[in-house]
Amino acid sequence: MTSSEDVLLQVGQVRYKKGDGTLYLMTERLAWILDHKDTVSVSHRYSDIKLQKISPEGKPKIQLQVVLHDNTTSTFQFVNREGTAAAIRERDKVKDLLVTLLPKFKRKVNKELEEKNRLLSENPGLLQLYKDLVMTEVVTSEEFWSNHAKPFMNKIDSSKQQVGVTGAFLADIKPQTDGCNGLKYNLTPDIMESVFRTYPAVRQKHKETVPHKLSEAQFWTKFFQSHYFHRDRINTGSKDLFTDCAKIDDQVLSKETESVSDPLVDISKFEDVNLGEGYGSLPDKPGSQNIVHQNMIKRFNQHSIMVLKACQSQQEALSGNDSIVTSNGALLNGNSPQKPEEKSNEPALKKARIQEKIIYDDLDEKSELLKHHSPVKLNLSRMDRYLEGPVKSDWTNTCESEEPSGPDIALAACRLKEEAKSWPLHYPNPGVLPPATAVAALGELTPGGALMVHQHDESLAQLVSPSLAKEVTGLYCTCCELLRHFWACFPPTSPELQTKAEQMHNAIRRFHHARIKPFENKVMLDFSPLSQQLTSHLNQLLKTAYNKYETWQSRRKPLGIR
């Protein structure tokens, strides 16, 4: 027990496994020390404790039991010399303090454990990897989840969908009277974040003023009192903190209005036109409207634009986090920065697509294709071949419309036989083996033949049972996972990579002795013909890694590096 730990409760005369000692409840763990000893015999972190149990009333032994997440238990018996009542009081003190301490650590741990259990249940390959590495003590649980299960954890992070900004979050701010002609606003962190995401100018003001010039409460009080938040924003005071924010919002609104330049959309045509009014009638232009109404509509439009921009900026931020950037600004894995496509070219692209559909370049006299390219001319060496076509055979006397008669068919068969006699025969060719010799050679090359006496008629896949094949597949997956991390450390150009290379080499050694060696012994007893064939490739992979590590260590020894 270190001196830096704060002891919240100390209870003496507590027995654990027939030994008397003292029970300590500290800020993050529970510890028990045997009397006349300085070392901690039992130590359990509160995050590892699942629940606590106490002995029922009427039992002669006053006990308290803590159950860990791995279902192991530790039982403490209170043996106060003053009697049973004093022991019960001490036991209840420990119980009540644990009741207040355990929930502080249980929420986060339980959530992480549930997430990890869900990952293991949904991914059989990850579960097999966990059994081969963690349960055999090849690597620790922390190393497994930080290194080998990292791709699965990243999928969970990327699949989480961020909550957008509701368009009516300002309506959720309901002021209450404080009894002194004042209003009281109940702000939640979600509402504050929605205000910041919808109005970036307010976020900037918050960074500039809080907490250097104003406190958090004063800032939001001025915000709700300002003309920027409510009223019509016509009479803005010179001392208003958010006057600049209104000007910035007006500039953003004008930019957004100018950016809408779609040639395929004509907003003025959305109005209904009455055909009975006559030809050439124009809609009446609205006169001067109330400026209050115009500002109200303007604020509605601006609020909608800012809500949509908040969602768009969030999507761009998520899409931009795919590349990994190092400390010196370089991008890993060959990722190059890509600029977002310019939206200003969108109308021109739409026009180009429309012209491509309705205009044919080869039919347009003004086309650049006909101006710069001359018509293609044929260069014929023999004109007669181009003008003449195939003709009928001389011996065919029938017309195309007539069916061939019996004598014509017999004559064609005779001509075919005569032509076939003139074809060269392959059998007299000395380079081709006779069929009997080929069959004999195949017989010698089949299992059991003269050249394959020691081979079995059945293939290796037929001799291996499905359960054994599944076990071999699991060994391959685990071995390849360890080797992947091992080879990723080379060349070890940094102390971190050197340390990781040594750790992975030790992990591979432990995996070899904990999983592969027992598997080879099992196969040798149950499947003697397969003892060397199933794990030969695995041993070759491991031997290559061992040789690489030994070569690296031999190069470090002359330099005096251990």
481 vs 336 pLDDT, higher one:
481
Vertex 72 angle, CA 24 and 105, to 5°? 55
DSSP 362: G
Instruction: Calculate what percentage of the chain has a pLDDT beyond 70.
Output: 65
- Residue 461 predicted with pLDDT over 60: yes
Vertex 226 angle, CA 225 and 229, to 5°? 100
pLDDT on residue 409: 87
pTM confidence score: 0.38
Strand ranges (DSSP E) for 57-167?
Answer: 63-68, 73-78
C-alpha span between 378 and 92 (Å, rounded): 106
Tokens of 222: 């001025």
DSSP string, 215-266: -HHHHHHHHHHSTTTSS-SSS--TT-TTHHHHHHHHHHHHHHHHH---TT--
C-alpha span between 443 and 453 (Å, rounded): 11
Instruction: Assign 334 a pLDDT band (cuts: 50, 70, 90).
Output: very low
Instruction: Assign 272 a pLDDT band (cuts: 50, 70, 90).
Output: low
Total residue count of the chain as it appears in this document: 562
Contacts of 88 (CB under 8 A, 6+ apart): 62, 78
Q: CA nearest 14: which of 58, 77, 72? A: 77
**Fold that domain 7-120 belongs to in CATH:** PH-domain like (2.30.29)
* Least confident range of 97-111, 142-156, 418-432: 418-432
Contacts of 481 (CB under 8 A, 6+ apart): 129, 133, 148
339 vs 554 pLDDT, higher one:
554
* Least confident range of 34-38, 258-262, 339-343: 339-343
Range 244-252 average pLDDT:
76
Which helix (H) or strand (E) is 511 found in, with range? helix 495-511
C-alpha span between 244 and 205 (Å, rounded): 9
Helix, strand, coil content of the chain in percent (nearest 5):
50, 10, 40
* CA quadruple 300, 242, 218, 197: dihedral sign: positive
Q: Which residue has the tokens 């309901």?
A: 174
